[in-house]
Amino acid sequence: MVVNFARTTASTELLTQVFQQIDAQSCPRSFNFHMHTVYSDGKLQPNILMEQAIAIGLKGLAITDHHSISGYQAAHAWLEDWRWSNPDSSIPHLWSGVEINANLLDVEVHILAYGFEIENSSIKPYLQRKAVIGRDYQAANVIAAIHDAGGLAVLAHPVRYKRSHFDLIPKAAEYGIDGVEAFYAYKNPNPWKPCAVESEEVQLLAEEYSLFNTCGTDTHGLNLLQRL
d(CA 133, CA 116): 21
Asked if omega into 194 is within 30° of 0 (cis), the reply is no
Give which of 197, 214, 206, 221 is closest to 114, Cα–Cα.
214
Backbone φ and ψ for 49, nearest 5 degrees, come out as: -60, -45
DSSP E strand boundaries for the chain? 31-32, 60-62, 93-95, 97-104, 107-114, 152-155, 179-183, 212-215
Query: What's residue 6's pLDDT?
Result: 46
Let me know: does 220 contact 227? Beta carbons within 8 Å: yes
pLDDT tens string, the chain, 228 residues long: the values are 455 544 434 578 999 999 999 999 999 999 999 999 999 999 999 999 999 999 999 999 999 999 999 999 999 999 999 999 998 888 999 999 999 999 999 999 999 999 999 999 999 999 999 999 999 999 999 999 999 999 999 999 999 999 999 999 999 999 999 999 999 999 999 999 999 999 999 999 999 999 999 999 999 999 999 999
Give which of 169, 106, 98, 86 is closest to 130, Cα–Cα.
98
DSSP 213: E
d(CA 155, CA 139): 10
Residues β-bridged to residue 113: 98, 153
Query: What's residue 11's pLDDT?
Result: 79
Let me know: does 93 contact 79? Beta carbons within 8 Å: no
Query: What's residue 10's pLDDT?
Result: 59
